[in-house]
Structure 1
């Protein structure tokens, strides 16, 4: 075959794959596209007795035009259904809607799921029951779960297996998904909770909230556990991003935008999850008993999972290969302030000679374009200090380590003898060799630096 023919075939093949991934389909000219509802306070007062749970379907064949999804849409020969029984089914469940507006992120999440996997994506629309008064919405969530379970039962009759269902619940939607799992005695394949709601659920019985018994595998991402999210583990694995509370890049002032101050932390779980689905970089959690211990460098590997660190995304059981999967495992990771949110974890270990006075050292890991600082407060009764920091680039790309004695007050140590300063990647493995510099002095007002040889292998 000539080179020209080969090029044409490759182009055709590329177009075919692109159309498959992007969901190009033969759309019917008279087909109406479904969308989620909005509601107003007046409508809410009129309709709150009726939940009006509705569904819409997105697949790779109808990415640009959601289909209203009902039991009839599977059997009605007059209009096409894009539901494919042989594919897994993702069920998206939104949470509380304070103002009755439809969630703007639903289609983006659906598209991220479909880029990652050929599946049926069913979106649950329960806006009428999820709006305005939070305490009344909480009263509705189990009824919503019951109605969803009716649809799941109908799909089972068409040949769908319970283990093929993966629920993705956002905020209160995570507990809706959990109760669906309870109704099916934990036989649902997977539930992912994106910052599961905390108010009215933290002290609730496991029957009333998401917990590991609700599915064969339950994973959760926590980003706002001090306000709108829940602070306790609710899955087999629970990823606490930046400790599960204040997220980098979210406003800390009430004078900032309403989104930035009120719900940025809460919605960060959703945006990180979508970033993970897009495959920009791995988001790996490290098991540890507390965030404080994690930051102190007390937890550097994934021994509890026999070396396989859990990851955020669609990997089966988050990448855990041991059986049975442990329950309620707290996992910690640091993220950057914007998409794709990935950060490389670095363990910093500093050993100094005994000090006469307290001191403060600023350690900076620097590349050509950026640097990452970490401050360590040195005491007279301690000589070894460990800390975990996040860097946008892998350790092998770090060119320079800098130390600065920032103790400017007269009662601070003026001259620090450093026995060693070492940096190593986390999670660690037996093959990882720390980068260390030994035996030097850091004087007040005279920064010290050392250049590393870049070791990244790009082959």
Structure 2
């Protein structure tokens, strides 16, 4: 049997991670051969099951915990969900007829469906919140309002607040049962009321994204899942049945905004809340998918201003999870916004900023609500509905990363401009000269002044070379720049 040799420092870090419920992104360093997978461990460790453990939940179906749900680093603990009555999953309907007063739907009580404004012939959008969140959160209401405004949809908010509270380990387990509840809800509406699963689009944030994945596993032909910064701890690096993956729906699009990991060698490990690995058909990484502009508290008095403008809840989000919730804000803005979020397929964000993937010949996609109209996706015309979209065989997007840059405040959507400069090489040039570069662009549509070409302040420019950078601005010059 292979043994995993860890230093005292590594053991201290792992202990902190377990206590804090964090998932180390350095798993590949400590465990390069994936020896920590529980199905490769032959010693008797108390929390690892050696036989399948199964629990059934009435008409919802059954859940089991096998060795494949464990990993010494990525997912060291697993428990079963809390009872149904405790989690108390509820489904609240909003439509254009009742945009503010939700109607409670219970598929086991037929009259709650028949007497509601639910119409199975219309598209259905479902919102699933995440950890330490509720349907009363500001963002849920804002997203719901934008969806109601966008079209004549059935907008269903999934309330699982009874199971989203700490401990995080328990909340991750509860998502599996909530996934069963969502699947039962949709499957019953299909069987008894004629709902087509292809017409259903589930939007989940954090743990809600994986919840949508669990539901999709049990819904034949689910149309779409949008994962908004899917939770990283206990999911990243795990098998597909443990997390959101492309097989969970006909189309899975994901926005990553908090995938950064920081390792403090002598004390504790801190990780981003969101996944960094691609898990959908289209995976978008705005601003490299790690740190979002406007979320650095050292940039200015962001929290006090937020506290005044949007209240205590939003201020706490800025303090604790600004990067993590940015995916929500980007998606919400994309629903009715006129500016399209164009993501460029590229090997890295650095390549993207250097203009190496600027043209859509490398592959482009639309991030957010309209992702299903991206180039490279085709519509199945053979079905009765034209809502089924998926990547074409000629352009397999699974595993690819799409990069773009956004602003630090609303409107977040920006236009991308590629600027190339040929630097002169005069005889008397001195290499020690330092400075900054700005550019002004003029077109028939307007003027962009003072666009910063050296935003990181440490760009080294050499005489006689060319310098290319992709910069952003909210204004659209229509591609017709007359003067620089």
Instruction: Name the TM-score, length of structure 1 as normaliser.
Output: 0.70
**Which sections of structure 1, spanning at least 5 residues, go unmatched?**
1-45, 397-424, 426-431, 436-450, 453-459
The residue aligned with 1:121 is 155
Q: 1:61: how far off?
A: 1.1
- From 315, 332, 337, give the equivalent of 2:408: 337
Superposed counterparts of 1:277-288, under 5 Å:
277-288=335-346
**Which sections of structure 2, spanning at least 5 residues, go unmatched?**
1-81, 261-271, 304-314, 379-391, 442-446
Query: Are 1:196 and 1:222, in contact at CA under 8 Å, matched by a contact in 2?
Result: yes
Query: Are 1:360 and 1:377, in contact at CA under 8 Å, matched by a contact in 2?
Result: no
Q: 1:331: how far off?
A: 0.8
Query: Are 1:277 and 1:314, in contact at CA under 8 Å, matched by a contact in 2?
Result: yes
Name the CA shift for 1:101/1:154 in 2 (closer, same or farther; >3 Å).
Answer: closer
Could you give the per-residue CA deviations for residues 382-401 of structure 1, whole angstroms, max 9, x where no partner exists?
A: 712211111222346xxxxx
Q: Which has the higher contact order (CA 8 A, sep 6+)?
A: 2
Instruction: Name the TM-score, length of structure 2 as normaliser.
Output: 0.67
Give me the whole-angstrom Cα distance separating, in 2, the residues matched to 1:83 and 1:49. Answer: 25
Give me the whole-angstrom Cα distance separating, in 1, the residues matched to 2:112 and 2:333. Answer: 37
The residue aligned with 2:328 is 270
Query: Are 2:424 and 2:464, in contact at CA under 8 Å, matched by a contact in 1?
Result: no
2:100 is aligned with 1:64: yes
Q: 1:259: how far off?
A: 2.8
Name the CA shift for 1:49/1:136 in 2 (closer, same or farther; >3 Å).
Answer: farther
Give me the whole-angstrom Cα distance separating, in 1, the residues matched to 2:122 and 2:85. Answer: 35
Query: Are 1:347 and 1:388, in contact at CA under 8 Å, matched by a contact in 2?
Result: yes
Could you give the per-residue CA deviations for residues 234-279 of structure 1, whole angstroms, max 9, x where no partner exists?
A: 1111111111111112233499554323211111111111111022
- From 345, 353, 365, give the equivalent of 2:439: 365
Secondary structure of the equivalent of 1:371? strand
The residue aligned with 1:390 is 472
Name the CA shift for 1:369/1:286 in 2 (closer, same or farther; >3 Å).
Answer: closer
Give me the whole-angstrom Cα distance separating, in 1, the residues matched to 2:254 and 2:400. Answer: 10
Give me the whole-angstrom Cα distance separating, in 2, the residues matched to 1:116 and 1:263. Answer: 28
2:137 is aligned with 1:103: yes
Name the CA shift for 1:360/1:49 in 2 (closer, same or farther; >3 Å).
Answer: farther
Query: Are 2:186 and 2:219, in contact at CA under 8 Å, matched by a contact in 1?
Result: no
Alignment length (residue pairs) = 352
Secondary structure of the equivalent of 1:223? coil
> What root-mean-square deviation, in Å, do the aligned CA atoms of Structure 1 and Structure 2 show?
2.7
Name the CA shift for 1:66/1:50 in 2 (closer, same or farther; >3 Å).
Answer: same
The residue aligned with 1:230 is 275
* Larger radius of gyration between Structure 1 and Structure 2: 1
2:389 is aligned with 1:351: no
Q: 1:164: how far off?
A: 1.0
Query: Are 1:356 and 1:380, in contact at CA under 8 Å, matched by a contact in 2?
Result: no
Give me the whole-angstrom Cα distance separating, in 1, the residues matched to 2:316 and 2:145. Answer: 27
Q: 1:304: how far off?
A: 4.4
Secondary structure of the equivalent of 2:437? strand
Give me the whole-angstrom Cα distance separating, in 1, the residues matched to 2:448 and 2:466. Answer: 30
Give me the whole-angstrom Cα distance separating, in 1, the residues matched to 2:460 and 2:127. Answer: 49
- From 161, 178, 181, give the equivalent of 1:144: 178
Query: Are 1:280 and 1:340, in contact at CA under 8 Å, matched by a contact in 2?
Result: no
The residue aligned with 1:202 is 236
The residue aligned with 2:368 is 312
The residue aligned with 2:398 is 327
Q: 1:362: how far off?
A: 2.5
Q: 1:47: how far off?
A: 7.5
Query: Are 1:169 and 1:194, in contact at CA under 8 Å, matched by a contact in 2?
Result: yes
Could you give the per-residue CA deviations for residues 269-296 of structure 1, whole angstroms, max 9, x where no partner exists?
A: 1111111102231111111111111111
Could you give the per-residue CA deviations for residues 91-126 of structure 1, whole angstroms, max 9, x where no partner exists?
A: 11110017x784232122112112112111111110
Q: 1:194: how far off?
A: 0.8
Query: Are 1:297 and 1:347, in contact at CA under 8 Å, matched by a contact in 2?
Result: yes
- From 173, 196, 213, give the equivalent of 1:178: 213
Query: Are 2:206 and 2:229, in contact at CA under 8 Å, matched by a contact in 1?
Result: yes
